[in-house]
Structure 1
């Protein structure tokens, strides 16, 4: 995986890890209508832009909502588990409900800074089966819409589709990569970590360090279908920065220069009313502590 770039994970560098990768106040109805920076207008989905993405100190991320989120719910930010300020979770480790004061630069459509958002809690983080971190902010979607005119991106609750056009939107580098969903890896192994059912890019999404945590946006729907997390850099097999695919029969495939993302459709089922994490909810299959 593309490790974070800047000093918050200096300990990992020491351990030998190498570079990974003024609007009016909105009502609940208005926020629901505008939620997702790529909302439909006149029957068309708006072009994918930087609106709703964020830059972390060392990674990329996005301001997100789930299909059932409400305007006055605490807002959430999505990134990678390996981007946590506390370091990469070990295999089998799941971190939940930890205090955090992390800040995020919220971007507007052109990639400029719209303002600064602050977390009050790291809700969920893991590198087991997937590679995600979810932060709760100290403000709501409605307040963000009112202050900055920025709506969150919606996380799709359905599996991404092979062959679909996708955009990997890096808030850190302010760069948008365009490619297609080439397919899905049954298991993706990288060093000590194993990810399940990972989305594989076609070659034009040649992501680099700092793009970790970028939302993978379906170009047709404008919804988030995955979170960017790794690429095979040098053709090695199953090593750090060189993930390998393992099929149901144990056969290993190495694809040099090909990047991957972790699907996000499983996440909405784990959040209930008020954007509250509940790993015991029916349909929630995210790893538990």
Structure 2
């Protein structure tokens, strides 16, 4: 996984690594973005990245939602098969503006949903509405796209933790992505220039044509290992295993949209909702 960060020393270590010039970085393979993608609406967690998000039917009066990874939960990584639903939380998030400056601290009221089964997501409900965030800080939520992303699409991975953006394309999709005890379905695979690092977990993956969120960044194969922690492998429908060292992945978010009901409640019984249930 793009490891959640723990401890100032480790954070400083990674900061130094991130600041060093790449020895042989892959060339960027994106076209010029059609919309301006910046840090507005992204957040920094204590150990990961995230973003304030809405679904197409969310109202300004709804309590705002923050999207990140299941493995970024303050309580630790959910076990395979575990689902967290409507659990009280007072977690704080640093809200960023377009240039990456912190403009506010937002606070959760609960974990609306989290799991590492089939996907790797956490959705926090905040104590403020979209309208309050917009009027007080001038920041609008990012919108989750309600359709499956397309191979070849130009994307940006925007990390609020590092205040760093990665540009690449959708290389394809893994039927199953297995890492340790966890298995994820239909994972989005990046082309090589999205060389994400620890702390980028939970970053929104934004389609540069629409400006909408199509996935949430979560893992990459670091050392060439097969199906182990920090070394996910792809498993085809026939069971063939493929290892792609240095390649990173995200979990698609269009599957979240059918599960969000009135008032931004997560309702797993809504038509079309396929998220795992507790």
Give TM-score scaled by structure 1 length. 0.87
- Cα distance in structure 2, aligned partners of 1:66 and 1:181: 22
- Cα distance in structure 2, aligned partners of 1:209 and 1:68: 33
> Could you tell me which residue of structure 2 aligns to residue 281 of structure 1?
270
> Could you tell me which residue of structure 2 aligns to residue 6 of structure 1?
6
- Cα distance in structure 1, aligned partners of 2:118 and 2:233: 14
Count of residues in correspondence between the two structures? 253
1:267 aligns with 2:241: no
Q: List runs of 5+ in structure 1 lacking aligned partners.
A: 8-43
**Structure 1: 4+ residue segments shifted above 2 A:** none
- Cα distance in structure 1, aligned partners of 2:265 and 2:216: 20
- Cα distance in structure 2, aligned partners of 1:282 and 1:182: 30
> Could you tell me which residue of structure 1 aligns to residue 17 of structure 2?
none
- Partner of 1:266, secondary structure, is helix
CA positional deviation for 1:114:
1.2
1:193 aligns with 2:182: yes
- Cα distance in structure 1, aligned partners of 2:94 and 2:180: 31
**Deviation per CA, 1:44-81, whole angstroms, max 9, x where unpaired?**
95310000000000000000000000000000000000
> Could you tell me which residue of structure 2 aligns to residue 215 of structure 1?
204
> Could you tell me which residue of structure 1 aligns to residue 18 of structure 2?
none
1:180 aligns with 2:169: yes
CA positional deviation for 1:6:
2.0
- Cα distance in structure 2, aligned partners of 1:96 and 1:3: 23
Give TM-score scaled by structure 2 length. 0.90
CA positional deviation for 1:205:
0.3
Q: List runs of 5+ in structure 2 lacking aligned partners.
A: 8-32
- Cα distance in structure 1, aligned partners of 2:157 and 2:250: 9
Which one of 244, 247, 255 corresponds to residue 258 of structure 1?
A: 247
> Could you tell me which residue of structure 2 aligns to residue 237 of structure 1?
226
- Cα distance in structure 2, aligned partners of 1:4 and 1:162: 28
**Deviation per CA, 1:140-194, whole angstroms, max 9, x where unpaired?**
0000000000000000010011000000000000000000000000000001100
- Cα distance in structure 1, aligned partners of 2:2 and 2:196: 9
**Deviation per CA, 1:2-58, whole angstroms, max 9, x where unpaired?**
221025xxxxxxxxxxxxxxxxxxxxxxxxxxxxxxxxxxxx953100000000000
